[in-house]
Amino acid sequence: MEPEIIQSNRIPPVPEAAKPKGKIWGGWPTVGFSLVIFTVYFIAQTVVAVVFVFNRLISNPGAFDTQAILELATNGDLVSIATIVSAVFGLGFIVLFIKIRKGAGLCDYLGLASIPKKAFLISAAVVVVLLLISSFLPEVWNISEDDGFTSNAYQTATWPVLLWVAVAVFAPLFEEAFFRGFLFVGLKESRLGAAWAVVFTSLFWALLHIQYSTYGIVTVLVLGIALGIIRLVTKSLWSTIILHSLWNIVAMVGTILYVNG
């Protein structure tokens, strides 16, 4: 008698070897690509600055000396344009390096998922507390909170709306996509782990703001650590983008009150 053939409609499981793996760049590739992104970011800012200064020199050469050119570093229009242009180029290269990674999806890689409501509300409360502390500490310890950079940028901006767009939209988008997105994910999945990823991305982010006072840089460092933890808890980059944007908006309002006070 021939053996009975048992037919089954079940689809056999995919062998482990056939499953896609390595969707995230490793630690060293992440660092290398991050350096490229950062280089492109600063080159874009430098080109904008050179073009801006050259245009000013052409239009009014007699009004410029070395000191006047140096003061352009805090010019509101230059800061706005440089921030927007460099953010666009930086974001473009972040997307490029994610896209060339086989099996990596942009939304999954950066964590562009919906935000858990409870976790976001708690996170927002933490940021509000940090904002209050950073506002009151200078009064208690008699620290000069104003570094001159933000107030000068606001006072010299002939296009205030452009400055608002740069500060509230483009700066948070690029900085979060880079620090709490691309760089954070790569370091977290490396041997460093989540805790050191939070620390290192916060330190690098603080160094990006060397135009601020010492107090301002320390504030950025503490905020960076808080945003890194929030990124871990909510598992969503949107949470840090929104909170970063709100922080910048409040800072701008504070600057306006300070200048007009």
- Distance, in Å, from the CA atom of 39 to the CA atom of 82, rounded to the nearest integer, reads 14
- pLDDT for the residue 216: 87
| Cα–Cα separations (whole angstroms), residue 57 to 45, 47, 53, 74, 161 | 18, 15, 6, 17, 25
2, part of any domain: no
| Number of domains making up the chain | 1
Q: What is the pLDDT of residue 22?
A: 56
6 in a domain, yes or no?
no
Tell whether 5 is covered by a domain. Answer: no
With 90 as the cut, is the pLDDT of residue 165 above it?
yes
- Domain range enclosing 159: 25-260
Arithmetic mean of pLDDT over the chain: 86
With a cut of 50, say whether residue 21 has pLDDT above it.
Answer: no
| Percentage of residues of the chain with pLDDT beyond 90 | 59
Q: Is residue 19 part of a domain?
A: no
Of 15-19, 43-47, 156-160, 174-178, least confident by mean pLDDT is 15-19
Q: What is the pLDDT of residues 75-119, one digit of tens each?
A: 999 999 999 999 999 999 999 999 999 888 899 999 998 898 888
Give yes or no for a contact between 85 and 48, defined as CB atoms under 8 angstroms apart. Answer: yes
Task: Tell me if 1 is assigned to some domain.
Answer: no
**Residue 210: predicted pLDDT:** 87
pLDDT of residue 73: 79
Structure tokens at 173: 């988008």
Q: How far is CA 51 from CA 34, 37, 47, 88, 124, in A?
A: 26, 21, 6, 17, 39
Q: Look at residue 4 and tell me if it is in a domain.
A: no
Q: Is position 69 within any domain?
A: yes
193-225 confidence digits (pLDDT tens): 999 999 999 999 999 988 888 888 999 999 999
CB of 198 closer than 8 Å to CB of 216: no
Residue 17 domain-assigned (yes or no): no
What percentage of residues in the chain have a pLDDT greater than 70?
84
Confidence class of residue 149 from pLDDT cuts 50, 70 and 90? confident
pLDDT for 11: 47
At residue 206, the pLDDT reads: 95
pLDDT at position 145: 56
- Is the distance from CB of 228 to CB of 197 less than 8 angstroms? yes
